Amino acid sequence: MTKRSRLTRVVGVLALLAALAFLAGCGGGGNKSSSGSSGGSSNSGKTYPVLRVIWDAPDYMDPQLYYTVAAYQINNYVWSGLLGYKHAAGPAGAQLVPYLAESMPKISADGKDLKFTLRKNLHYSNGAAVKASDFKYSIERAFKMDSPGVGFFSAISGVSGANGFATTKKGHITGIITNDANRTIELKLDHPEGDILYILALEFAHVVPSGTPASDQSTHPIPSTGPYMVQSYQPNRGFTLVRNPHYNNQIPTEPSGNPDKVVGTIITDPVAAYQRVVSDKADYDFQPVPNDRLPEAQSKYKDQLRIYTNANTYYYALNNAIPPFNNINARKAVQMAIDPQAIISGVYGGLGRPTENFLPPGYPQYKKIDAWHFDLAKAKQLVQQSGTAGQTVDVYGPNEDPSKANTEYLAGQLTKIGYKPKLHLLSHAVYFQTIGNQATKAQAMFTDWYQDYPHPIDWFDTLLNGNRIAKIHNNNVGNVNVPSVNKEIEALKKITTLTPDVNNRWAKVDSDLMAKYATTVPYMNRSSTDFFGSKVDMSCYTFSVVLYWDWGLSCMK
Amino acid sequence: MATESTTDFTLDTAAALAAAEDEGAIEGKSPWYLAWRRLRRNYVALAFLFVFVAIVVLCLCAPLYAHHVAHTGPNTGHLGETFTRDGQQVPIVSKGGFQNGQFHAGGIPVGPQLWHAGGKYVLGADNQGRDVAVRLLYGGLNSLAIGIGSAVICTFFAMVFALLAGYYGGKTDWIISRFFDLIWAFPVLLLAIALGTALSINGFHHFGINIKSGSLWIPTLVISYVLIPYIGRPLRGQILSLREKEFIEAANSQGASSLRVMFSELLPNIASSILVFFTLIIANNILTEAGLSFLGAGVQPPSPSWGTMIADGQDRIATAPWLAIIPGIMIVLTVLSLNVFGDGLRDALDPRAKVRMEH
């Protein structure tokens, strides 16, 4: 698996905190089927002509390729998958609902066979009919384009192995069986995957017409299935979305949206973006309000500002495989040398919540860890006990603020407890691939993670499973490798139903890795802002766990 | 003393005249003395020289100030800590976050305290809680070390290349001139950014030379390298002109070696230009260093320089303007003082010269 996260953009939700409702949502991802009537609505009678937004630059405008929130948030009303998320505020937004599928799938008892049926009379924005085989074509297209999301599909039969489609890219994926006449899609898996339904809701599994070229089509908009279609896209300049003329509420679980048109202007400088909205030249600022302007925004534009904390964790990765942090006392010392509140105040202007958990609050598997307290004297003592005092530590971080300032803080604290840190600040473009390369031998690193989908597998298996340590493109940058925990993660991965007992086991994984073995130093769930122009009616503001600010439900005064 | 002739001109008269002439002989003045005489009458240039010297002395006092006055190092962060002002504990960086569900913006560092906090945070703190005054002085040390160091290296190599190219001419001149052209083909700042960025990641480990990433030698050498033609070319032009003069022909005809001609005859004649160039290029190098550090290709964090301090402060310009303004003022003062003094020095050394740093 790879990741959408590690973005400059913070997205998320405060409302994740309502864990029970979320539990219901995750439970829906199990082996039961349900009707597809939840969550959707046609437009609410609050339609308006145009929504003008300031946006960040999307990486692509092609569903098999895009992986940034900037692309995801705007395009979730454009292309659709078999499943999607309910458009609802708060934890209800984490609930999977059928989109192109007429209902949740029928899953076999062994969890290795999933059967979907497409809704009737589905059409693309160009009027062509949506076929079951288009789904198979879309997944194969992702592989042919070396999409960043192909790792998610590794459990589908015929994908992995020397002769698998991922390697050969020839023939077809044998584990996807479609029937256009009956509108059925059958997925066969090599082994049960606890998060397979969430994976099918990812953008990489969104359906495009068979025959769409297997190359980036960002500037040649692909016909869409959702309520909107891309009318134009000029990289680094802007985009325009208009209503899909053939939508006809064909996905009843997805709202048809209020704005008739969305005009996006790409501005990557947060100060300039903020100014555009302040001067009412735009209705929404995608960029976080700069720390410098937050006091002003809070006092002068309080009604237009929303602050949220979504499912993310900022943490310092310590290389558990090499000295000094292969010593547990050295790792515990770092835990005690870090003051989360100081980082949140000084570096992020207060936009964050302290944490010691790896899993963000709001997950039903979350159980608050309270193991560490900021104590420099004790941290120094632990460093002395570990026998690692005076060692050089190569500290890595991005070279742009606030991550740069954050990494400088880490280096400063390491100095205070007796190490000799050497700071390496790299461009964001190469940062994660550099620390993900074992040859770098990074010892302490800034890093963060934003959920791909709301399931603990996306956190512990992707980032902290010792069995998945790789030489390059290593997501487990701290080389965390606790055999007993690895075994538990492997066992939990196969369980498709998140019962309270299973949730407790995931919580123990969190506690073992963060408190017992002190493998990693999580310190913050970062918050961010949604800032609106004065014409926007804030009573329509809807923030969902997965979809972020739901612009389709926005309305004007 | 004038002697009025009232009698016929005799040998005695001639002897008396000669004696009188000896008494009133004009003392020979060296060009350096004449230059100094002109310079000391240029009060503006001298005033700015004083400003520059004062800045250098202040920066040299950085360790003393940090240890005895501010009681903190240039890279020591104090996030989450407080200090005492008028008997009260004040957070160095204002606290922010969520309290009772309400968000409070924070992260604003304390402003200049002057002497209200016993010498701490005289010029305020940055967002890591570091003392701006301490960083300013250490940053000045780094900026001046790079500026002066790179000026020395750059001027030395430019002088050597100019002497070789100008004196030997022919293939030597062609090769050196093409080397100058090669560097000159790139915009100086872009070339410096490219080199600085590449070297700041892994350092330089070739030809038996090992410079670690983060070393001040990297911006020093990068700036030296990219500016060599800007001194080398005009000096080469002067040497080409001097080479044709009679005193060079005389030296050659007396059998002087090439090295002797270059260093005993040519070099003294371009010394005044080198001195002026050297002064002006220090200012230029300090500006280049600030630009490189601002863009992350010069001095590497957490080490301070005036350029990195401006970069750190730019995101806080609305709530903590001193973070960018104070180092900016220091750069302006230093560069202005060097430029005004350099112009005065040029006027003093050769009032007819038109030496200009142009690029």
Q: Per-residue pLDDT tens for B88-108?
A: 999 999 988 888 878 888 889
Q: What is the pLDDT of residues A371-385, one digit of tens each?
A: 999 999 999 999 999
CA distance A313 to A459: 10
Sort out which chain B residues have CB atoms less than 8 A from A399's CB and list them: 296
DSSP H helical ranges for B80-205: 132-168, 170-184, 188-202
Which residue type is seen at A150?
V
Question: What is the model's pTM?
Answer: 0.81
User: Residues of A241-261 as b/e, b for ≥16 C-beta within 10 angstroms?
Assistant: bbbbebbeebbbbbbbbbbee
CA distance A89 to A15: 8
List the beta bridge partners of residue A393.
Answer: A421
pLDDT at A83: 96
CA distance A51 to B103: 28
Instruction: Give B264-271 contacts, CB < 8 A, sequence gap 24+.
Output: B266/B163, B266/B166, B266/B167, B266/B239, B266/B242, B267/B159, B267/B163, B269/B238, B269/B242, B270/B159, B270/B162, B270/B235, B270/B238, B270/B239, B270/B242
With contact defined as beta carbons under 8 Å apart, do A81 and A116 qualify?
no
Phi, psi at A230, each rounded to 5°: -80, 120
Mean pLDDT of chain A: 89
ipTM score for this prediction: 0.78
Q: What is the pLDDT of residues B173-185, one digit of tens each?
A: 999 999 999 998 8
- Residue A276: pLDDT band by 50, 70, 90 thresholds? very high
Taken in order of first residue, the domains within chain B and their CATH numbers are: 131-349 (1.10.3720.10)
A334 to chain B, any CB pair closer than 8 A? The answer is no
A345 to chain B, any CB pair closer than 8 A? The answer is yes
In order of A422, B188, B201, B218, B258, the CA distances from B195 in angstroms are 21, 11, 10, 9, 36
Which residue of B75, B92, B100, B103 is the best one to mutate when testing the A interface, meaning the one whose CB has the most A CBs within 10 A? B103
List, in order, residues 6 or more apart from A165 with CB less than 8 Å away.
Answer: A140, A143, A158, A159, A171, A172, A173
| Cα–Cα nearest to A477, from A546, A394, A415, A379 | A394
- Residue B20: pLDDT band by 50, 70, 90 thresholds? low
DSSP A47-115: -EEEEEEEEPPPS-SSTTT--SHHHHHHHTTT---SEEE---SBGGGG-EEESSBSBPPEE-TTS-EEE
Least confident of A22-31, A114-123, B255-264, B342-351: A22-31
Tell if the CB–CB gap between B107 and A346 is shorter than 8 Å.
yes
Q: Is the peptide bond before A402 cis (omega within 30 degrees of 0)?
A: yes
A361 to chain B, any CB pair closer than 8 A? The answer is no
Which residue of A275, A292, A308 is the best one to mutate when testing the B interface, meaning the one whose CB has the most B CBs within 10 A? A292
**Residues A426/A430/A431/A433 CA torsion (nearest 10 deg):** -150
With contact defined as beta carbons under 8 Å apart, do B112 and B36 qualify?
no
With contact defined as beta carbons under 8 Å apart, do A195 and A457 qualify?
yes
Task: For chains A and B, count residue pairs whose Cβ atoms are closer than 8 Å.
Answer: 113
List, in order, residues 6 or more apart from A524 with CB less than 8 Å away.
Answer: A313, A314, A340, A343, A344, A348, A352, A353, A354, A355
| Cα–Cα nearest to A187, from A307, A290, A104 | A104
pLDDT at B5: 47
The 8-class DSSP code of residue A516 comes to I
| Cα–Cα nearest to A126, from A24, A284, A232, A244 | A244
CA distance A370 to A115: 44
Q: What is the pLDDT of residues A460-496, one digit of tens each?
A: 998 999 998 988 888 899 999 999 999 999 999 988 7
Query: What residue has token string 């005076």?
Result: A390
Which residue type is seen at B70?
A
With contact defined as beta carbons under 8 Å apart, do A441 and A322 qualify?
yes
Instruction: Output Rg (C-alpha) for chain B, integer angstroms.
Output: 28
DSSP H helical ranges for chain B: 11-23, 31-40, 43-60, 62-64, 132-168, 170-184, 188-202, 217-243, 246-253, 258-260, 267-294, 306-314, 322-349
User: Nearest residue of B to residue A416 by CA position?
Assistant: B76
B1 to chain A, any CB pair closer than 8 A? The answer is no
Asked if residue B158 has pLDDT above 50, the reply is yes
Indicate the SS3 state at residue A209: coil
pLDDT at A344: 95
Tell if the CB–CB gap between B213 and A424 is shorter than 8 Å.
yes
Q: Give kind and range of the element (H or E) at residue A253.
A: none
CA distance A17 to A23: 11
pLDDT at B8: 65
With contact defined as beta carbons under 8 Å apart, do A172 and A215 qualify?
no
Tell if the CB–CB gap between A423 and B302 is shorter than 8 Å.
yes
B177 to chain A, any CB pair closer than 8 A? The answer is no
A234 to chain B, any CB pair closer than 8 A? The answer is no
Least confident of A14-18, A130-134, A151-155, A176-180: A14-18
What is the average pLDDT across B1-14? 59
Asked if residue B344 has pLDDT above 80, the reply is yes
B102 to chain A, any CB pair closer than 8 A? The answer is no
Tell if the CB–CB gap between B103 and A342 is shorter than 8 Å.
no
Q: How far is B143 from chain A (nearest CA, A)?
A: 20
Q: How far is A556 from chain B (nearest CA, A)?
A: 26
In order of A455, B18, B23, the CA distances from B12 in angstroms are 120, 10, 17
Q: What share of chain A is helix, strand, coil (3-state, %, to 5)?
A: 30, 20, 50
Query: What residue has token string 């310590």?
Result: A318
List the beta bridge partners of residue A314.
Answer: A448, A524
B201 to chain A, any CB pair closer than 8 A? The answer is yes
Q: What percent of chain A has pLDDT over 90?
A: 74
List, in order, residues 6 or more apart from B111 with CB less than 8 Å away.
Answer: B124, B320, B322
B319 to chain A, any CB pair closer than 8 A? The answer is yes
Q: What percent of chain B has pLDDT over 70?
A: 91
Instruction: Output Rg (C-alpha) for chain A, integer angstroms.
Output: 23
Q: How far is B87 from chain A (nearest CA, A)?
A: 23
pLDDT at A44: 60
Determine whether A321 is exposed, middle or buried from the number of CB atoms within 10 Å of its CB (0-12, 13-18, 19+). Answer: middle
Chain B from 205 to 224: CB within 8 A of any A CB:
213-214
In order of A361, A528, B95, B323, B353, the CA distances from B105 in angstroms are 22, 12, 8, 19, 58
**β-pair type (A543-544, A392-398):** unpaired
pLDDT at A17: 32
Q: What crossing angle do the helices spanning B43-60 and B322-349 adopt, rounded to 10°?
A: 130
Q: What is the pLDDT of residues A329-369, one digit of tens each?
A: 999 999 999 999 999 999 999 999 999 999 999 888 999 99
DSSP B278-314: HHHHHHHHHHHHHHHHHTTSSSPTTS--HHHHHHHHH
Residue B3 is encoded by which pair of tokens? 């002697």
- Residue B257 C-alpha from the chain's centroid: 35
Rounded to 5 degrees, what angle do the CA atoms A218, A434, A454 make?
60
| Cα–Cα nearest to A266, from A239, A300, A226 | A239
Q: What is the pLDDT of residues A228-260, one digit of tens each?
A: 999 999 998 999 999 999 999 999 999 999 999
User: Nearest residue of A to residue B110 by CA position?
Assistant: A346
CA distance B18 to B12: 10
